[in-house]
Amino acid sequence: MNFETFEPVYEAILADFGFDRAADERARDAAADIATAFPLDRLGGWRGETVAIAGAAPCLSEEVETARDADVVVAASTAADALRDRGVAVDCMVTDLDKNPETAAELTREGVPVAAHAHGDNVHAVREWLPRFADDATLATTQAAPVGPVRNLGGFTDGDRAAFLADHVGAGRLVFPGWDFDDPDVNPMKARKLDWAARLLRWLERRRDERFAVLDGRREGLDDALEPVLRERDGDGI
């Protein structure tokens, strides 16, 4: 996924949430001042492998074996802690630094890659935490246009960004332990973000010609939500 392909969806997200693109760009620039380039070929071992994209929903505790059985484990946010507490090694963490940045910093010092995301609401966290990360294990990301060492490989929430990252480096089958789009305990903003995560995973599975079990029962509505955005871009919809 490159930014030109992703940009129409990014603009739709900005419009839906009322986010400030300039704020995203300021956060991106702050990350660019700190980060160094991360060579994505370091993730070449994911190519063709089964990659678990572990979400942080409570159901992860019941789905740990799905992650354990995968060839590669990419953990979104606090899923990294939950899996490591259960003896499952994490091969990469994806985070926007809002819950457990100390885990992310520790992982980088252990040589585990961390995709650290800069957006309009976390400039302070970017400036506080990125200097504490091991440079050679840190992939700085943005949802705005990429600049310098800061990449945009697609995605919006930690979880779906993890899936887009895995796709970008050639992952084989993607599996999704720890995901719950209908979690009744999340706040309304988080629920809206989960809705967008589902739309983006539907787009990704269409691009990959794959079926993600986590989307079973909801594909028709997701197509209806995303297709107008993508049709406007290229005239042929998803």
Percent of the chain with pLDDT over 90: 92
pLDDT for 190 beyond 80:
yes
What local confidence, expressed as pLDDT, does residue 232 receive? Answer: 58
pLDDT in tens, 120-169: 999 999 999 999 999 999 999 999 999 999 999 999 999 999 999 999 99
Q: How many domains does the chain have?
A: 1
The residue among 237 and 189 whose pLDDT is bigger is 189
Distances (CA, A) of 213 to 73, 76, 148, 177: 17, 18, 36, 10
pTM comes to 0.95
pLDDT range class, residue 234, cuts 50, 70, 90? low
Question: Across all residues in the chain, what is the average pLDDT?
Answer: 95
Handedness of CA 131, 136, 138, 144 (dihedral sign): positive
The span from the CA of 81 to the CA of 102, in Å, is: 11
Tell me, rounded to whole angstroms, the distance of Cα 92 from its chain centroid. Answer: 11
Region 78-90 average pLDDT? 98
Distances (CA, A) of 60 to 52, 88, 102, 158, 179: 12, 12, 21, 15, 7
The single residue listed with the structure tokens 């990959």 is 208
Residue 177, domain extent:
3-234
70-74, 174-178, 199-203, 222-226, range with the lowest pLDDT:
222-226
pLDDT in tens, 22-60: 999 999 999 999 999 999 999 999 999 999 999 999 999
pLDDT range class, residue 6, cuts 50, 70, 90? very high
